[in-house]
Chain A
Amino acid sequence: MSANLNPSAGYNLNATQNGGAAPPCQNGPGQTYPSVYHAAGYYSSHPQSYPPVMGQGPAPSGKAPVMNSQYHPSYYHNSHPQPVQPTVRAGPPVYDAAQTQVSQSCSATGAPPSSAHHAPQHPPPFKPLTSYPAPYYAPYPASQGLAATAASSAPLYPVASYSSAPGANQYSTVRSSQAPQAQLYQGPPGIGAPPTAVSTAPCTYARPPSGPQVAVNGQVSAVSSPVLQHYDQTQPVVTQSYKALDGDGAGERPPSGTPSNSVHSSPGHHPGADSSTTGSSSPVPNNYESLEDGSYPDSSSLPPPPPSSKAVPPFGYSYPNLHPAYQQKPASRTDTTPSYGGCNPPGYQPFSQPFPNMSQLSTALGGLSGVPELQVEGLRPVNLLQERNILPPSPLPDPEPNLSADLRKVNCSPDTFRCTLTNIPQTQALLNKAKLPLGLLLHPFRDLTQLPVITSNTIVRCRSCRTYINPFVTFLDQRRWKCNLCYRVNDVPDEFMYNPVTRSYGEPHKRPEVQNSTVEFIASSDYMLRPPQPAVYLFVLDVSHNAVETGYLTIFCQSLLDNLDKLPGDTRTRLGFVTFDSTIHFYNLQEGLSQPQMLVVSDIEDIFLPTPDSLLVNLKESRELVKDLLSSLPGMFTHTRETHSALGPALQAAYKLMSPTGGRVSVFQTQLPTQGAGLLQSREDPNLRSSTKGVQHLGPATDFYKKLALDCSGQQIAVDLFLLTSQYSDLASLACVAKYSAGSIYYYPSFHHVHNLPQLEKFQKDLQRYLTRKIGFEAVMRIRCTKGLSIHTFHGNFFVRSTDLLSLANVNPDSGFAVQMSIDESLADTSLTCFQAALLYTSSKGKRRIRVHTLCLPVVSQLSDVFAGADIQAVTCLLANMAIDRSVSSSLSDARDALVNAVVDSLSAYRNTSNLQPAGLVAPSALRLFPLYVLALLKQKALRTGTSTRLDDRVFAMCEFKSQPLQHVMRLVHPNLYRVDNLSDQGALHLNDRMVPQPQLLQLTAEKLTREGAFLMDCGSLLYLWVGKSCSEPFIRDVLGCPDHSSIPQNMSQIPELDNPSSARMRTFLSWLQESRSFWPVLHVVKDDASAKTSFFQHLVEDRTESAFSYYEFLLHIQQQMSK
């Protein structure tokens, strides 16, 4: 029992650290681990003791300050010729020996004094700490000078002497007498002793003596994780700013309904505040738990330590800390949801830290040979034709790579970074055999609850491939680390030896960079080509007759007025407006004017800026004028008769206006551009909307918008397109302007402020989010991967600058990217592969920052392992991206065939590997949803044929697939269906003070619907509430506030707030669903006879339509194809 509990707790810590499933809004980690350190005074004595340590201890090799300048001269992370590496590398075998001895002696010699001294007076430091008085690096500079001098005297790390008694003795003794480690090394007394409630040391030390280092490691990481939180607290500024930026998302939760740990506390929590929440609603595990997380999960191979009541909270209490799979259905832990406790089979050997060298690494991985249950589960053959209820009752759990517990704990959150195959095949041949696509899905700029931000003079990177140091590098010894991507051995710079978290020296492996796979660096000026740009926003508004008719202008102006103060930016923020019909209107908002001045340029052939200086103005200085303009703008064009739209020239003007600074251009367009450059003709033939043959005109009609986007991208301008239209507007051409400048596309078909209220509401909510969400300017993202892998194709909105570099003029938290990979060289000589995505951007506050995500995955040589590790959601998303590319470059029917073939091929490949030849259609359990998802894809607006689909709708759906993050795409492809008329608190989720009901997921078939029920369908940006004709009166009365079914209004889009338990439950559930995404979904209440019924039923993908297979027919079709 306890053995099971602990690993899950460990998992939870992982999620929290990475911001995993935690709510995406408060980057300020303030409220978490609030009280790790007390006794700032206690530590404050340490710095004084440093210099002597430095003098005596083994000398560092290499001088950080000198190397700084060599380290990152290039703005774009280009690799560059490496300076000669100063250290001589000692042979690994020598090293192993030395190392083990050292660590042994460390623990042995270091322990007694520490346990004598410190253990009593320094019980785990869990009292609340109000603040860390000393500045982050305060003690360091003092010792740095000394370190540098010492370094010059001994350039080579004295490997041999290190293990010899005197040096090691001094070193370890001093070290252990200094810092919190003291407590760690209190080993000896604890050996063999029964574990106690408070101290976690004993259980790790209860290991056989052969692995003392391992034991220490477990301990080390245990302590350092809370420490990291603390470390964050030392950056209150950052915390604050993030909160401000993400303010609107205060209640947001991650997609996928994995609210696991995440009961984040209210935004009111601030750094240093003790969260003081109880176990059940605490946003993070309490300190004891987190301490254990580091050490217990490894100990499954040991006799399970009897958990004390203090250490392991009662089951009910620890609820939020468990994995979602547990949380949601504790009772239904069926065989379809693998038990997480089982993920750490006895075979796992904990390993790592101080300096896990190669041999250790391989032993650790050797432990993997016992195939974990998860993998076995992934391979369980499922006969799809017989399995009627293929859908699991709760959302699919996130994929778990088959890694050791330590690595898994630090691995990147699957919401941010995931791979289609969690087991990477060794060779391209093996990958080809599996017939599954290999690729990554990224959501790099996601709102995170918790993000370690590192300010450091030296950003430690590999000197040959420029990889950032990450948790998966190997420390060969104190002074050298081995890059996990190119295997080059690098020096550890001096500065890195000092750990600001523990304030101790000589522990590079405990630095936050090495403890977290998602970190953010504050970059130095080496990462700038020019001074960081201010936040600049330009709004380009269509004011032709058509636009005024839709009434969007009023809503936009109101929304911007409301959010003027929330626009991300600082005192330099600049704002500008351009409106256009057949002419271009500029607005002079220069400070000092009594009212805004409109300047009309009617020469649209050769556009020029009337007054270049005063059109983009400082928001702070001209706030009143901006407000004036926004309040008068809607009225200015009410009687316009101008029906033409000169979008092209307006965009050219915007480009001219923005090019000196870069920034964001938001274009609002309501019709086909009819004048000037970039004018378009209607290409849609309404008669072909439902043709089954093929769809024309999916590509752009002109390259004007693409070229403009590339120019914009070069000047760091992103163009976001809002298309509010009722007629065909050739989105295929217009979208290019956003696609290649890294913008976003929003589409509101048949928008009207009176006649289409749901769209209106959606537009308002979207604008609210759009205006206030975080933004990164002049960004680039580079994706590096282990030698042998290479990037094949990118999918998303950006411009590909080189083989692994994306140029993103702006980056926003709602865009996702997909990358296809290929295997160039065999990965046989490595057991782990890593992928690192580094996003360099300028924050809205004018800070240059680098966000680094690192994902580590195992390499396998067996085809069956490749199948077992397939992440079907990621595979589906990647296939969707590939299919869309194919449909634009080739044809829609090609793309559809390719999708079907993908299923046929991979299932045939599986059939060929498994010896058994059972009848029916057999899929490995990991792929059991593959046919369903592909069928759903084929029925999407983007890819369907035979059903009437407007061209713009189709193109927009394609754009969404390419630019949305995985969770959103999955909800589009396969919506979640719940029965909601009988919501109960059974199995509900406890969040703070709320109980969120967790109804079962239903299959998307009309068979599951009954007239007696009410069903909620969650399609990402839309929620449908379908109310059956004979739905129970109490439900209609209590929840919808109507006396009976017939009196439910036609266009109901809100659930009234009624004071009764069922209404409360329903609203909690709805708001929980809505919080989990960044864009507010619109609710449609669908009556049995309403016209919206059609669109509701179109989402029931398992049913047959006139032109498409039902799920069962599709399976038969696949079986038939396979037998050919």
Chain B
Amino acid sequence: MAFTFAAFCYMLALLLTAALIFFAIWHIIAFDELKTDYKNPIDQCNTLNPLVLPEYLIHVFFCIMFLCAAEWLTLGLNMPLLAYHVWRYMSRPVMSGPGLYDPTTIMNADILAYCQKEGWCKLAFYLLSFFYYLYGMIYVLVSS
């Protein structure tokens, strides 16, 4: 049993995924608030937009870590989400600041529903990957 770089990657990913789960929950709550009229869309977009890039960057960061650690399977599992993030950010509306959400279109039922669904899917993904990383970390620690 030795503390390898791969094990370190998994531990780091474990922590960061926990953070991402919070991001996803925050995301879901925010859109729920919008749907139930608690918040003004402008305010809500202003709070959500700054969080988009950090979330993506965290994910990119541990993907790179896995790349360095040559954990191909884990990297492969993360590739779809990575690709989705890139696509999502490329197709964002015209905006001067960072972020994805435009207060003028966010109340559109289609977009709102899409964002909510996106939130739930990501939450599920992060939760599953959290346990996968846990397993991966133990596996790496035990096997080496």
Contacts and interface: CB of A to CB of B under 8 A. Distances in A.
Is the A/B pair a real complex? Answer: yes
Interface of A: 78, 699-704, 706-707, 710, 714, 740, 790-794, 799-805, 820, 822
A703 B37 contact: no
Contacts of A701: 94
A634 B139 CA distance: 82
A706 B104 contact: yes
9 contacts: A699-B93, A702-B94, A703-B102, A710-B42, A794-B107, A799-B104, A800-B41, A800-B108, A820-B109
A803 B96 contact: no
A805 B107 CA distance: 10
Contact of B109 (A700, A703, A792, A801): A792
A699 B105 CA distance: 13
Nearest to A707: B96
A702 B96 contact: yes
Nearest to A733: B94
Contacts of B93: 699, 703
B40 interface: yes
A803 B94 CA distance: 23
Nearest to A791: B109
Most buried by A among B93, B104, B110: B104
B95 interface: yes
A703 B95 contact: yes
Contacts of B95: 703
A81 to B, nearest CB: 14
B42 A802 contact: no
Contacts of B110: 792-793
Nearest to B112: A803
B103 to A, nearest CB: 6
B94 A805 contact: no
A67 to B, nearest CB: 24
B104 A805 contact: no
Contact of A700 (B40, B41, B42, B94): B94
Contacts of A740: 104
Given A710-B42, A714-B42, A803 B104 contact: no
Contacts of B42: 710, 714
A740 B34 CA distance: 19
A700 B41 CA distance: 20
A343 B95 CA distance: 54
Interface in B27-70: 34-35, 37, 40-42
Contacts of A800: 41, 104, 107-108
A820 B104 CA distance: 16
Contacts of A802: 34, 37, 40-41, 107
Nearest to A800: B107
B95 to A, nearest CB: 5
Contacts of B41: 800-802
A802 B41 CA distance: 7
Given A800-B107, A801-B41, A803-B109, 9 more contacts: A78-B37, A703-B93, A703-B95, A792-B108, A800-B104, A802-B37, A802-B41, A803-B37, A805-B37
Contacts of B34: 802
Contacts of A820: 109
B126 to A, nearest CB: 28
A314 B126 CA distance: 79
A448 B42 CA distance: 35
Contacts of A801: 40-41, 107
Given A710-B104, A799-B104, A802-B37, A822 B109 contact: yes
A805 B41 CA distance: 11
A710 B103 contact: yes
Interface in B62-100: 93-96
Interface of B: 34-35, 37, 40-42, 93-96, 102-104, 107-110
Nearest to B45: A710
A791 to B, nearest CB: 7
Contact of A703 (B40, B94, B108): B94
B30 to A, nearest CB: 14
Contacts of B37: 78, 802-805
Contacts of B35: 803
Contacts of A702: 94, 96
A201 to B, nearest CB: 50
A792 B113 CA distance: 10
A802 B36 CA distance: 8
Contacts of B102: 703, 706
B131 to A, nearest CB: 35
A920 B37 CA distance: 50
Contacts of A793: 108-110
Contact of A699 (B40, B94, B107): B94
A700 B104 CA distance: 13
A800 B35 CA distance: 12
A583 to B, nearest CB: 24
B39 to A, nearest CB: 8
A889 B37 CA distance: 25
Contacts of B109: 790-793, 803, 820, 822
Contacts of A706: 102, 104
A803 B103 contact: no
Contacts of A790: 109
Most chain B CB neighbours (cut-off 10 Å) among A790, A794, A801: A801
B4 to A, nearest CB: 47
Nearest to A736: B104
A822 B110 CA distance: 11
A704 B102 CA distance: 13
Q: Which of A700, A703, A790, A804 is most buried by chain B, counting CB atoms within 10 A of its CB? A: A703
A844 to B, nearest CB: 27
- Give the most central of A702, A704, A803, A805: most B CB within 10 Å: A803
Contacts of B107: 794, 800-803
Please give me the 9 A-B residue pairs with the lowest Cβ-Cβ distance, nearest first: A800-B107, A802-B37, A792-B109, A793-B108, A703-B95, A703-B94, A703-B96, A740-B104, A700-B94
A791 B108 CA distance: 9
A737 to B, nearest CB: 12
Residue from A714, A792, A802 whose CB has the most chain B CB atoms within 10 Å: A802
A748 B93 CA distance: 29
A702 B94 CA distance: 6
A699 B93 CA distance: 9
A703 B42 CA distance: 14
A703 B49 CA distance: 15
Nearest to A701: B94
Nearest to A76: B37
Contacts of A78: 37
Nearest to A706: B104
B115 to A, nearest CB: 14
B96 A704 contact: yes
Nearest to A739: B104
A313 B94 CA distance: 64
A822 B107 CA distance: 14
A340 to B, nearest CB: 37
Nearest to B42: A710
A701 B103 CA distance: 17
Contacts of A707: 96
Contacts of A792: 108-110
A715 to B, nearest CB: 12
Nearest to B38: A802
A706 B96 CA distance: 11
A713 to B, nearest CB: 9
Contacts of A714: 42
A708 to B, nearest CB: 11
B42 to A, nearest CB: 6
Contacts of A794: 107
Contacts of A710: 42, 103-104
Contacts of B103: 710, 799
Nearest to B96: A703
A548 to B, nearest CB: 32
B11 to A, nearest CB: 41
A791 B110 CA distance: 11
Contacts of B104: 706, 710, 740, 799-800
